[in-house]
Every structure is written in C-alpha cells, then in structure tokens.
Structure 1
Amino acid sequence: MREVFTGSFFAVGLILAVFMPMTGAWRSFKVILTNVDFEANDKIVDLRVDLQNESGDSKLSMEIKTFEEIEDVQLSVDVGLETDKGNYSTLINRTLNFCKLMKQRNSDPLLRGIYDDLLRHGNLFKDCPIRPGTYSLTNYKVDEEMLPSFLPETKFRFSMVISKPKVGLIVRSNIYGRIDKSKGFDNLKRFSLG
C-alpha cells in the first residue's frame, strides 16, 4: 500500500513540476482596447493612430513624425478604473522626465517595463533628445502577462500627456478598454468542477 501511495505521489509531483510553469503563463482575462482619442501639437509632431479589434484581439498601431529635436520631455501617465459610467478612479498617477526614463533603466520599473514592451513592437525613441524623424508602433497587443492575475472585470482608461517645459503640450492621448474575463484561456467557468 505504501509503495502505491509513494508511486502516486511521485507521479502527481512530476506532473505538477512539468506543467506548473506553463499554467503560470495563462491569464483568466483578455485586455480589449475599445477606443483611442488624442490631440497633438502639429508644429512639433504628426500622429496617426489605428486601432483594430479582430477575433477578440486588440491591436494598436501608430506612426509618429517629429519635425524638430525634442529634449527635456515630461511624461504624465494616469491609469483609472471605471467606478460609475464614465467616471474613472485613479489607480496609478505618475509624472516623470521621459529622457531620464530612457537613460536610467531603473528610474521607474513599472513604466520602464511598459516602454520596453512597446519597443518590441516598433521603432520608438530610444534616446534623448528625440531626433526629427518617423517612429512607429505596429500591431501592439497588450501583454497580459505583465498585469496582475487578480485584475477585476472592469473598464479602464490609460491617459498619457507628453509635454515640454515652456512649449507645453506635445501629445495628449486617452486609450479606453476593458478587462474581459470571458475571453481568457484559463476561464474559471470552463474549468469549474461543478
């Protein structure tokens, strides 16, 4: 009897050891982007944005043309969750020097992680000052693995303001979306025991 129990315990342990790393990669939700609105200072930058929603995947593409050298760039980020229809409660609010973020990898780990993820999907600014030219983001899909697994099913707003002292606004954008638990791979309803 003891040998059967030990053999079963070993088999379960082996299965967990093999499959646990893979289960950590599953999320019980999808991030679906629903709308993007923006305004840009057309003397400094031209911005084109395209949002596509196909078969449950949201993909964001941007083309950014800068007309002059831009230095000393300030970045303000605000992430809010919808509490009432159209009202958002701020979850994260940060203002920092964007050039410092690009130069010092540990200046703000959260925003640096988001920016590094964006860099994998295009050719964006990698140093300051930002030189005149064309930059792009192509078919960016939010990496759910970067987000905590306990996120509630809710609507959100990601606001970003890029500005320059003495000049003012360069770009202001709002990205709206929702956390959809019915679209996740590890849907709890699908795998429930009842």
Structure 2
Amino acid sequence: MTMKVNLKNNTNGKPTVDLNAELFVDIPNELYINNIISKRASELEYNALIKTGRINLCDFFKNPNREPFLKVLISNLGKYGRMMFDCPVKKGKYYLKDFYMEASALPSFTPPGDYRIDFTVSRKEKDAYVQIYRMQWYATVIN
C-alpha cells in the first residue's frame, strides 16, 4: 500500500485532510482493527479514554452498530471520497477529499481538549496477529 496525506485549511478556514492510497493486493476477510482514543494530559502525555478490542473489520462492516465510534468515523469518511467498506477489500485506488470531522458527529458530552486517535490494523497469520498498518490522528475539540 502507498498512501499520501495532505493537511490543509479549506476556504472556510477549517482543517481538512486529502488522502490518496493505492492497495496493491486484495485483503482477505481476516483483517482486524484496534483503536484507542486518548486525551492530552500534559505536554508529552495522553491518557486513554476509550479502547476497543481487536475487531474483525469485515464483521464490523456487516454490523457497524457494535462499535459506535467506528460507525461515526466510517460514515463520515464515506461522505468525502472512495474508501474500502466491503470485504474482501479489493486492490485499487482509494481517496478522501477535504475530509473534515463534523462537530455533530461527536458525542455531545465530548469535552474540549486535544485528542489522539490510534488505529492499528493487523491480520491473522496462523495463531498470531501481525500488524500491517498503524496511524495516529491528532485533533482538537473546541466548544
């Protein structure tokens, strides 16, 4: 997989993300995702607020209500381009254009502050899980 990410401010001054990715092989049904949402506690430290266990991504696509945070994220990603939401994930080109997480997508009780969202994607090989991708997103919630 290759991926290019561009951060920019749109015409309204909102920070947006453009992402272009190319997947070179089909990915079978045994793809898993973990995510951790953390809030900044100090200059160098984030405290985990929400952790998901290892989620089979294909099972999630079939029943997104099991994971509310991922459901919100995936539904927002789908508005801004072509992403992979079916299994098996097919090789090809995927993109986001001017992605912006709408405030209405966040739970109303989300306090203002700096957050980090860690995503880890792995696949199962024999009896072990092998990490194939890791990404961190940083965000600031303002009331």
Say yes or no: TM over 0.5.
yes
Q: What's the TM-score bracket when you normalise by the shorter of the two chains?
A: 0.7 to 0.9
Structure 1 or 2, whichever has the larger Rg, is 1
- Structure 1 unmatched runs, 5+: 1-44, 182-194
In the alignment, the residues of structure 2 paired with residue 64 and residue 117 of structure 1 have an alpha-carbon distance, to the nearest angstrom, of 18
TM-score (norm 1): 0.65
Matches within 5 A, 1:152-191: 152-166=111-125, 168-181=130-143
Query: What residue in structure 2 maps to residue 80 of structure 1?
Result: 38
Which of 11, 27, 31 is the matching residue for 1:70? 27
1:105 is displaced (CA, Å) by 3.5
Query: What residue in structure 2 maps to residue 35 of structure 1?
Result: none
TM-score (norm 2): 0.86
SS in 1 for 2:27: coil
- Larger helix proportion, structure 1 or 2? 1
Which of 99, 102, 116 is the matching residue for 1:140? 99
In the alignment, the residues of structure 2 paired with residue 115 and residue 122 of structure 1 have an alpha-carbon distance, to the nearest angstrom, of 11
Report the AA paired with residue 53 of structure 1.
Answer: N
In the alignment, the residues of structure 2 paired with residue 86 and residue 146 of structure 1 have an alpha-carbon distance, to the nearest angstrom, of 27
For the aligned residue pairs, the C-alpha RMSD in angstroms reads: 1.7
1:124 is displaced (CA, Å) by 0.7
Matches within 5 A, 1:98-113: 98-113=57-72
Relative to 1, partners in 2 of residues 1:141 and 1:100: Cα closer, same or farther, differing over 3 Å? same
1:169 is displaced (CA, Å) by 2.4
1:142 is displaced (CA, Å) by 0.7
- Larger strand proportion, structure 1 or 2? 2
Over the matched positions of the two proteins, sequence identity in percent amounts to 24
Q: Is 2:9 aligned against 1:53? A: yes
SS in 2 for 1:106: helix
1:170 is displaced (CA, Å) by 2.3
Relative to 1, partners in 2 of residues 1:105 and 1:155: Cα closer, same or farther, differing over 3 Å? closer
The aligned length equals 137
SS in 2 for 1:84: coil
SS in 2 for 1:175: strand
